[in-house]
Amino acid sequence: MRNNSTLAVLIFTRDINCNPEKLTIYARITVDRKRAEISLKRYTSVNVWDVSRGRVIGTTQKARMLNSYLDEVYVQIMEAHKQLLQEGKLITAQAIKARFLGQDDQHKTLKELVAYHNTNMDSVLKYGTMKNYYSTERYLHKFIKDRFKTPDLYLKQLNYRFIVGFEQYLLNYRPEKTRKTCSNNGAMKHLERLMKMTNLAVKLEWLDKDPFHQFKLNFQKHNRSYLSERELELIEEITFKGQGYEKVRNVFLFSCYTGLSYIDVKELAQEQLLLDIDGNHWLHTKRAKTNEIVKIPLLPRAKAIIEKYADEMKQSPDGKLLPVFSNQKVNSYLKVITKACGIHKNITFHSARHTFATTVTLANGVPIETVSKLLGHVKLTTTQIYARVLEKKVGEDMQNLMHHLEAKEKQKSNAPKSYHN
């Protein structure tokens, strides 16, 4: 690519402290009469500086070392100019300076990428999602510090080996304080978030190729906990003396009969409960996770829970529909509730959503397309993760098939036979 811009590099000194014994050495890059200056962090005195040559006078070891350094600076500036030409980039004094100092897009670091992503996504992604990204950021910083003994890495240093190393670090990391460590799927979620950030770097042209190109995320499938019809009845029948446990149980049951997630139940406002033209009450809300609009006709048991707390919530200054505690407190109370009911499953508030999809709707013949709409899913495949074909349903379907086949056999045996000579 031809480039008609003019380039000049000048090594010169400047008296900063009004001290002729200590002149600061600079490099000045000039392209088309536009300048950019770089302090080289080297010093000399006026009596040994040769202005015409831009070098120090003398043959002492100190003089030779300084002149050698200045020669290297000149070569590196010219190399930066050559690189920009080869890449077809716009040639300016500032662009050459940035390339020389390692401050252009070719020298972006991992920390810069993470900071850029988190700053720009903070107003786009939900608080809970950003919280997960900050967690991934902390793991990345620990990994780089422990493995590479440095606070940061250039993006061009990211490769398949780095990704595999980070994966193993996550799986084997043992924190100083005793707490839950990364499971396989937890490690995969951290890698998934890093993958999204490296994809962003490729789009920004900070990276030439994605280091995840040959890497495959390996999520392990596991059965999601949900309540059977009998277990749901046990939770409905149990009573507690403490109002806190009663409220948690009832709000949890409300989610079982509406399919709403914790945050969606927590944010429900009284004005979102509407009377439809069919005479039934509906909830009109929007999923916090996806912003999908969801309209849910209330089942009688869900409606009864709202009515139970109607008077109390009318006094609430925030206008919420139900009394909902913090997610941590709710899940802590649920462990006590399920244990009291003799339910030996790891039940969290989100299990209510799975219970709605499986036990309340699909097991009772509601089409999966309708369930998908009620859950606020954009894709039907997402609903299939929640949906389970229960053994009871399999038995009923096979029984119906047997009846159908028996009827066909009976019809065939009763049909008049024809005889031929």
Nearby residues of 150 by Cβ (< 8 Å), 6 or more positions away: 144
Alpha-carbon distance of 321 to 319, in angstroms, equals 7
Query: In whole angstroms, what is the distance from residue 341 CA to residue 235 CA?
Result: 6
Residue with tokens 């209510």: 352
Structure tokens at 61: 């070891």
Residue 390: predicted pLDDT? 58
Low-confidence ranges of the chain (pLDDT < 50): 1
pLDDT score recorded for residue 154: 85
Q: Compute CA 162 distance to the chain's CA centroid, rounded to the nearest angstrom.
A: 20
Q: Tell me what pLDDT residue 304 has.
A: 95
Map residue 412 onto helix, strand or coil. helix
Q: Judge contact between 197 and 117, C-beta under 8 A.
A: yes
The reported pTM is: 0.62
Instruction: Give the C-alpha distances (Å, rounded to integers) separating 244 from 93, 249, 258.
Output: 68, 9, 21
What is the predicted pLDDT for the residue at 1? 45
pLDDT tens digit sequence for 54-82:
999 999 999 999 999 999 999 999 998 99
Q: Residues 385, 255: contact at Cβ < 8 Å?
A: no
Cα dihedral 24→28→33→34 (10° resolution): -90
pLDDT at 338: 95
